[in-house]
Every structure is written in structure tokens, then in C-alpha cells.
Amino acid sequence: MTNLLLDFIEKIDKVSYKFLNGRNGRNLPEVLPDDLCFEKTLREIKGELSYDTELASAIRKARSHLLKEQDKREGFWVGELEGDVALTAEYMMLMHFIDRVDIVKQKKAAKYLVETQQKDGGWNIYYKGPSNLSVSVKCYFALKLAGYSKEKPFMKKARDCILNMGGIMESNTFTKIYLAIFGQFDWQGIPALPIEVILLPNSFYFNIYEFSYWSRCIVVPLGIIMAMKPKHSVGGNAALDELYIIPRNKVSYRMARDQDKFSLKNVFINIDSVLRRYEKNPFRPLRKLAIEKAEKWILQRLEKSGGLGAIWPAMVNSVMAMKCLGYRDEHPDYRRALLEIEKLEVHDKETLHMQPCVSPVWDTPWSIMALSESGLSNDHPALIKAGQWLLKREVRSFGDWSLKNPVEEPSGWYFQFANEFYPDSDDTTVVLMALLLIDLPDKYKKREAILRGFKWLLGMQCRDGGWGSFDRDNNKEILNRIPFVDWNALLDPSTGDLTARVLDLMAGLGYDKDYPPAGKAIEFLKKEQEEDGSWFGRWGVNYIYGTWSALSGLHLIKEDMTQDYVRKAASWLKSVQNRDGGWGETIKSYWNESFKAIGKSTASQTSWAILGLLCTEERDSESVKNGIRFLTENQKEDGTWDEKEFTGTGFPKVFYLRYHMYRSYFPLLALSRYRNTVK
């Protein structure tokens, strides 16, 4: 396999590699510098392609905008990654917990909370979504910490909304922990997860490495906090007694049981009861050792990272855990952890909100692929600079993933600017796909990075034939029954969208469906397909994203696209097209399948649907043409599209994302691929 891969990479270094998805092996023309007129470029092309003026103009404008968005000094692309308002509320709570309240920041953050309040008084977790209880409780409490009286009209409205949804007692575990830290919820009402769990050997069925990477990074510092049970005084004005439907002193913290005494739920409740009694026992001989190990675990993973796990909840929990452990403000590790959180601030003129993390290693390869598809030459300075930046981001040390993927040499790419312990399969895949497109000066360095990355990726394939994100075989579903776990994302199992993307890469490296890992992946995709022909979208909203991903991978790996299951997927995509020619899907589809592919047309989801159909017999259909027309007619003068909807998925039913660059590079990719495939 190694020799085959090396030979193939050498070939693509000698000739201009044209990625197979939609190009049909034809050499596309290079473009002149972007500030020159596109019509002049067309006149100099000797090929047979004829470009529709409107389509050509849309591609030119989108490409020009994307090139302007590149970081000129380092070469990456990164757009804002917008999460829900709870992040900002949690930031305000953090400032109070660590006794570092910046009055200006707090005022701007509070203004943001007030401005994002819904008509019914609550706060939601995605654009135009319904009010969410846990998020609303956090926002209400953050505003009280900022000094707002509960008698303010908007506070009364928020309180009524929260009580109508069930009050504090119905909020999720993480919200209750935040409130317990400030003395607004009783610690005895939190399901148990003793810090001693970190001492369990990796060979045990239950150990922290059976959690997903994000859950692991969240839970370890949280275990320290729960072991120490801090109670930060906030004063009477910030108390939340009014959010309890039953007076707080009469609240029962007993969990509701099933009638069947031996049900799985009751078994876990019994285990939780035992663990809670253990927590009350003053004799806990392993507690000190467990806290020390957890502290060491956190500090080790702060190295070469943008904070613990480089994701918001873990970063915040790590700072609070350090505070509980007595770290002083001047301690270098504490200061650095706090600084990484501050880097996630987004300041508008009068408001402040927080990002959950940053996405340069995701935005950059997609930008490269879109620009390359649009006709930008493989040795264009912008692409070379971006490719060199990506090469520097390769992981070269062993992380948590190595416990189940014992490769000889570490590799992989992560999502953020720095997250050395946690490369993931999806970012690694798109980075390698992008590198294949660029004619980098150091061909040996590029070739070796691709070889290492692909070997690492093959080692991440799960036994079911699919790929998860950060670990292999992270799929013990029974662990989701732990009472502490109510965030719907404890695990990191194989997903169809991610698995299909690996097929994209395999095809780019010269493999087809007869390659054994590809064959296993295809079988996994077949098993994951829904009855109506669609695929679930784990990392994008939702079935449109999943179906595009699956069709792309199957097409590139040379699966027979005339098979019934493929035609069924294409027919499904056509059937859910909106009357305006676009496609859209509300986040509600994660709760209720009746909302599948129903929603206002968006630029990113329309692009995904077009890209999916271009892989099928429907590539030249009226459906595709209408989708292209939707994109060209709705493009703004600056080359972008309006898109306020959240079309990225963090954790289904819990956390969603609005990638601000999705409305730039995905439409450019779809328009360009249509031109190259059909025109």
C-alpha cells in the first residue's frame, strides 16, 4: 500500500492534479490575477467550455471575496464560529467565580443577552428556534450577577418563561452545576460522577477514554469542581429562589424510577445512589490521588493547545478547576488558560459575545477546494501559502487517540489553531484533499505529510467500517444511560457524513471501491441509509448535509451510481427542493423527522444539495439548474450570500453552530463544480 501511495503522489506532483469530484479528468484553465476582468480570462481560454455570463459573474465575485478573506500574513482562512447565547452567559458567570469582573466587558455582554431575548422572554439555541430552558436560566442568572433587578420588565418576562418551562429543577445537569457553584442549587441534587473515575485502568469497560474527546475534556475538570464543591457567594440580589416552582427548601432530589425494578434506568439510579453515599463519606482514601491525577491530566493537555481541548466548556471548566485548586492569578498555566478564553471574545460596537472555539483548519481546506474548483491555478500564491500553513499544523505527537490507534508515527490535523492532543478524522481528511490540489514547492514534505496522514486515518477506521471523529470504536451506548449524562453527546461513534468524506480522499489517492477499507465503508453507508433514501447529518444540518456527503463519497470511489439505493437518495434530494429553487432544513429535524429537509432555503444547504445531485444521474436536471439559479439570483454584490441560519451541528439536540464562512466557500464550490461538470 505504501509504495502504491508514494507512486501515486509522485505522479500528481508531476502533473496538475485535478480533483475528481466533478472535473471528469479535464484540465481546467488557469485564471489571471483576480483583479483582472473575468471576460478577458475567458477570451484567452482555448478550451471548449462555454460559460453562462451570470454563472461566470457569480463565480468571479465569490472567488474574489474569498481571496480577500485570506489572512495575508499566514495564509489561513477563518470565519466567526457562532454558537448560542449561553456561552456569553457562562463567560459572565466565570468572571464572577474567579473574581475578575471586567465592568466594560460585563456591560457589553449583558447588552448582548438583553438584545437576543426572545419575544416570549426566553433565549434559544439557534436562529428562530424556541426558547430553551437551560439557556434561559443561565442568561437570567448572568443578568442578575451583572446587577439587573428581577423587577425589570424583561427580567419578569424571562422569569415567567422559565417557570412555564418547569423552572430550575427541569434544567440540565450542567446548568445545575453552574448554579450549585454559586449556591443557587444544592450539590446533593447533582448526579454523581466521582473524580476517582480517572483512576480506572484503560482496560476497564468503563473508563474516561470510553467517553468522546469533548466529554472527557469537560468531565475531568468538572470532576475536580464536583469533588471540592465550591460555593461562591453572590449576595441576596442575585439569588434565584424565584425560579423554583416548589419552594427550594421543599424540593426533593430523588430521581423518578421505572415501574420495572430491574430496568436499566433503575440499575443506573441504584448505582448513582451508592456513589452519592460515597460522596458523603468522609473516608475517601483515593480522593487526593484522583484529584492530583486529574490536575496533571489537565496541565499535560494544556501544552500545545488553545486551552483544554480547545473547546469552550472544557476551557471554562479547567479555569474553574484551577481556581478551586488554589491557583493564583499570576500562575503561568492559569494565566494562559484564561487568555485562551479571552481570545474567543467577539466585540461589536456595543456588545460582546463568545465563540465556542475557532475553525481555521476547517475553513482553510474548504476555501482551497472551492478556489481550486473555480479555476485558480494549483501554484497560485494564495493556495501555496495556505498549503504551507496547513503543513505546519500537522500533529507530530501522540494524543488520547493513540490508546486505540497504535500507529508507529503520529499524524492528523485538528480543527483549531492549536489542539495537539486531539486531531480528528474529518479535518485530517479535508486537509489531505486540499493538499492534493496544491503544487507546493517542497514536494517531498507534502508527500510525506500525505502519507503519514493517510496511514493515521486508516488506523482510525472503526470495526463497523465507519469513522468517528476523534477516537476509534468510541461507541458503548450503554454509557449514555449514566444519570449524569444528559447532553446527548457522551460518545463519538461512526457517522455517515464523516465516513463518506474519507471515501472522497481515498478516491483522490487513486483507490476505488475494491480497496478493502473502502468496501467496508461502503457497507457501513448502506446500513446507515434511511428508509426514504437520505442519510443523517451528524456534523451539519441535517439530512441534506448527510445525503450530499454520502453521494459524494460513493461517486468518487466509483460505486455504481445507477443502483437503486443511490437513485433513491437522488430522488429524495429532488423531492425536498423548495419552490424558490433552493434547499433548506430546520434544526427541528433533529427532534422530529417530520421536519426533515423542511426550512427556508439557505446558501449552504442549497450548495450541499447541488453537490450531491451532481454526483448522480440528475447532474443536468432541472432541479440542479433551479438550484444554481437560486444561488446566482441571491448572491450579494460583495460575492457572498445572506445566511443567518445555523447549518452546522455541534451536538444534536444540544448545541448548534453558524459557520460564517459556509455562505462563502460552499456556494463557490457548488457553482464551480456545476460549471466544470455540466457546462
Catalytic residues: 426
CA distances from 105 to 73, 140, 351, 354, 538 (A): 29, 17, 8, 11, 34
Q: What is the dihedral of CA 37, 43, 46, 50, to 10 degrees?
A: 90
Judge whether 423 and 414 are in contact, CB under 8 Å: yes
**Separation of CA 242 from chain center:** 35
CA distances from 28 to 22, 371, 387, 472, 624 (A): 11, 12, 20, 39, 22
Please report where in the chains the cell 461589536 appears, as a residue.
Answer: 348
Q: Is 208 in a helix, a strand, or coil? A: helix
Distance CA 541, CA 294 (A): 35
Contacts of 91 (CB under 8 A, 6+ apart): 109, 316, 341, 345, 354
Cell of 539: 456534523
Distance CA 371, CA 420 (A): 28
DSSP type of residue 391: H
**Separation of CA 624 from chain center:** 28
% helix / strand / coil in the chain, to the nearest 5? 50, 5, 45
Distance CA 544, CA 540 (A): 8
Nearest alpha-carbon partner for 671 in 618, 626, 642, 628: 628
Distance CA 372, CA 370 (A): 5
Distance CA 194, CA 222 (A): 10
CA distances from 657 to 136, 320, 475, 654 (A): 18, 25, 24, 11
Nearest alpha-carbon partner for 624 in 559, 545, 677: 677
CA distances from 166 to 144, 171, 627 (A): 20, 8, 43
Cell of 441: 514547492
Dmax of the chain from CA atoms?
A: 83
Nearest alpha-carbon partner for 317 in 415, 217, 207: 217
Judge whether 468 and 425 are in contact, CB under 8 Å: yes
